[in-house]
Structure 1
Amino acid sequence: MVFVPKTVQPDPLIAQLRQTATLQQILQTIPKHCFRKDALKAGLGLVGNVLFVALGYWALAVNPWLWLQPLLWIFTGTALTGFFVLAHDCAHRSFANSRLINDLVGHLLLLPLLYPFHSWRIKHDQHHRYTNNLAWDNAWTPMAQEQFPVLSGFLQGLYRMARTWGWWLASIGHWALLHFKPSLYKEGRDRRDMQFSVAVVLAFALVLFPALWLYGGLWAVVNLWLMPFFVYHFWMSTFTIVHHTLEEIPFYQEEDWNPAVGQLFSTVHCRYPAWVEFLCHDINVHIPHHVSTGIPYYNLRAAHAALKASWAEYMHETEFSWSLMQRIAARCHLHDEQGAYVTFPDTYTAR
């Protein structure tokens, strides 16, 4: 009996899409009005988000009922995820026409999350240029099946955790390991921008944590920063893994990848509870954002409808649920030579 790892085979529609359209042709099916920035909508979204975050922090500070505190952590952390989404538009220059405004607003919105704006912007741009490309994508890229067995037991354990039950913590590792190390950034402007943003974050942290400690000691740090931070990373990890991870969506070897397949076929539209989509500015409507990062968040739904009218057979849609996360955690671990998903070595089946 020969044992082989369970492998999910890629969809034959991939080859069909390669022959059918270029990314430019797909882009042309989105109406021009979807690319227009609206300063009023952007401003209202920003002001509303600031008010929700302020309300969350105020409630956390004055709430007398301990049983209510977890719900307030969830609300505040989700509203902070909205901060990240607006900063995400700033990074793509789709929030405002002014580069200065985009950079200023982006830095300010990411401060409570201790994210260095330029560091994240530069690495995130790489993800967009090479979505689901095994050689270059830096977001949830699965490890090759032959690499996993040679890792130390400790590293195998960390990787297993990130791809299974601990997926919601994985973005913390991504944040800590990818955004504070100058050697990961090209010398010149990229590195200078990265170092500036890191300096801003460190300066903010040197004010934030002593102030919280003086205000309420360890409980203030946990209550007003750490728990909302964990909730934010739950959503950050969940959004980002679901954006490009289903069993039927492979990662691609560099020679097999092209932009149409990477951005349209390999991006997932996922429906979440309405309150999450509202507080997080429709970041779940993700396919049009990958077809063009120039679409502001408030136009994503119109752009998605236009794409569905022309390309529905190549688009993936799903709904957030624990069964969805269990399916991803059970099947999407490693990749084979073609980039299709393979489960971990201890889940073997006879064929």
Structure 2
Amino acid sequence: MGAPINLSTQPAPQAKGHSVRESPDYTPMPWTLKEIRSAIPAQLFVRDTPRAILYLVRDLLMAAVVWKLGLQIDPAFRHSRVTSALTATGAEVARWAAWCAYWWVQGLIFTGIWVIGHECGHGAFSAHKWVNDIIGFTTHIFLWTPYFSWRISHHRHHSNHASMERDEVYVPKTRTDLGIPKESEGHHMDYDDYFGDTPIYTMYMLIRQQLLAFPAYLLFNVSGQKDYPKWTNHYDPNSVLFTKEQRNVVIISNLGTAAMAYLVKAACAQYGASSVVKLYGIPWLCVTHWFIMITYLHHTDPELPHYRKAEWNFQRGAAATVDRDFLGWWGRYFLHDVAHFHVIHHFFPKMPWYNGEEATKYLKEFIGEHYAYSNKPVFSALWHNYNECQFVEDEGDVLFYKNRKGEAVRRPAQRLAPPPQEST
């Protein structure tokens, strides 16, 4: 079936003037979802509620311990014995170093708690819907995510991933969207006129994406489907994102968000805004950063296809994502392998995350070259993909990103077999 594709070892760009770099032609996978599922042992799909609860309890205990340590940072480093031993300047430097350590660890712990809420949204935490909804709602509202509203749009994303017409997030911009004229035979296109950004500007845009993209998506549908009305958002019960039957759960999510806003306001009044920002606000900002970085790198890579029309099906869309060695053991332990084994999650969202590693072994063996993995350092991958993934063409049913020079690293095979039909 071919070796899995390793995105970190793909060929470098060839000489200028070629719109497609040298790499093997791409042919979408031929199997049905039923065939793929049958290759994975049935016991890996079983959800173990007590085991999932233990993971949640572990995360909550870690958050509580780290929070308690955070409360000691300012008093400890402002104590006269510490300032005498380190000098006032040394104690101040050590104090901020301790806060940075707190934000790093607590940010990862909070993100892990968010990931558990995400698993609840898929029904992967427990076979009992009420357990999923109570834990998912509580953990997500704590981190400013409208659980039911986001669950609805996220389910639609999974159901339509990599479809240009129907996916909910990270939908590529087209040549027309960016106002780039079509290349003509014998005419040199100067893409610098459209992508002449400096590295400093690119860094600014990346930082803005990392810190603001998730709130912007919830509030303004940024990076979502372009055909939605202008004011589409996750807080309007009458939004195009929701059906009339879903209106009440959207309102419940809004009430939870309002309650969280009240609690934060009350905490600021009692403990001071500075303490709330340091103990809670900045770790929450880290959650938005890690979440956006993880999902962006899952779904945005020049090696991964997007599909139009009849070339798309669920399993082809599921394979159009990539597993990444995200932060090494930090990512594995604190983030529940959400980035390490994401491909299997797109195939089978209800599979418990703690079975992802074993299930991925079977998936890789079955789909071979259609499984994508990268061990490239994730911050390097973020910079690379942000520059390489600029737009896709207006024509074609199997699409690959082009970069700032109008080059793509892959191309679809000339003759494509039609998508397989699921047997009934």
Give the TM-score range, shorter chain. Answer: 0.7 to 0.9
- Unpaired runs of 5+ in structure 1? none
2:214 aligned with 1:171: yes
* 1:54 aligned residue: 64
| Cα offset, 1:117, TM superposition | 0.5
TM-score by length of 2: 0.73
Q: Which amino acid aligns with 2:335?
A: C
Q: Distance in 2 between matches of 1:185 and 1:111?
A: 19
Q: Distance in 1 between matches of 2:269 and 2:27?
A: 54
Please state whether the residue corresponding to 1:282 is helix, strand or coil.
coil
* 2:282 aligned residue: 227
Q: Distance in 1 between matches of 2:254 and 2:390?
A: 32
Alignment of 1:117-266 (within 5 A): 117-149=147-179, 164=206, 166-169=208-211, 170-177=213-220, 178-182=233-237, 183-216=239-272, 218-264=273-319, 266=320
* 2:96 aligned residue: 66
Q: Distance in 2 between matches of 1:242 and 1:280?
A: 15
| Per-residue CA distance 1:228-280 (angstroms, 9 max, x = gap) | 1221111101110111221111221133211221112x011111211222111
| Cα offset, 1:59, TM superposition | 2.4
Contact 2:234/2:241 (CA < 8 Å) preserved in 1?
Answer: no
- Unpaired runs of 5+ in structure 2? 1-15, 75-94, 181-193, 221-232, 408-424
Please state whether the residue corresponding to 1:317 is helix, strand or coil.
strand
- Name the CA shift for 1:342/1:13 in 2 (closer, same or farther; >3 Å): closer
Q: Which amino acid aligns with 2:330?
A: W
- Name the CA shift for 1:119/1:161 in 2 (closer, same or farther; >3 Å): farther
| Per-residue CA distance 1:90-122 (angstroms, 9 max, x = gap) | 111111122111110001111221111101100
- Name the CA shift for 1:219/1:10 in 2 (closer, same or farther; >3 Å): farther
2:381 aligned with 1:324: yes
Contact 2:388/2:402 (CA < 8 Å) preserved in 1?
Answer: yes
2:400 aligned with 1:340: yes
| Per-residue CA distance 1:64-101 (angstroms, 9 max, x = gap) | 32221012111111111111111111111111122111
Q: Distance in 2 between matches of 1:312 and 1:206?
A: 51
Q: Distance in 2 between matches of 1:327 and 1:115?
A: 29
Q: Which amino acid aligns with 1:325?
A: L
The structure richer in helix per residue is 1
Using the TM superposition, name which of 87-96 and 252-261 deviates more.
252-261
* 2:413 aligned residue: none
* 2:336 aligned residue: 281
Using the TM superposition, name which of 278-287 and 185-194 deviates more.
185-194
| Cα offset, 1:139, TM superposition | 1.9
| Cα offset, 1:293, TM superposition | 1.0
Q: Distance in 2 between matches of 1:143 and 1:236?
A: 21
| Per-residue CA distance 1:25-57 (angstroms, 9 max, x = gap) | 111111101101112311110100111222232
The percent of aligned pairs where both chains have the same amino acid is 25
- Name the CA shift for 1:268/1:160 in 2 (closer, same or farther; >3 Å): same
Contact 2:267/2:276 (CA < 8 Å) preserved in 1?
Answer: no
Q: Distance in 1 between matches of 2:167 and 2:17?
A: 27
2:348 aligned with 1:292: yes
Q: Distance in 2 between matches of 1:126 and 1:85?
A: 18
| Cα offset, 1:214, TM superposition | 2.0
Q: Distance in 1 between matches of 2:123 and 2:21?
A: 37
- Name the CA shift for 1:304/1:49 in 2 (closer, same or farther; >3 Å): same
2:73 aligned with 1:36: no
Structure of larger gyration radius:
2
* 1:268 aligned residue: 322
| Cα offset, 1:143, TM superposition | 1.3
CA RMSD of aligned residues (A): 2.7
- Name the CA shift for 1:34/1:146 in 2 (closer, same or farther; >3 Å): same
TM-score by length of 1: 0.87
Contact 1:79/1:280 (CA < 8 Å) preserved in 2?
Answer: yes
* 2:8 aligned residue: none
- Name the CA shift for 1:282/1:50 in 2 (closer, same or farther; >3 Å): same
Please state whether the residue corresponding to 2:337 is helix, strand or coil.
coil
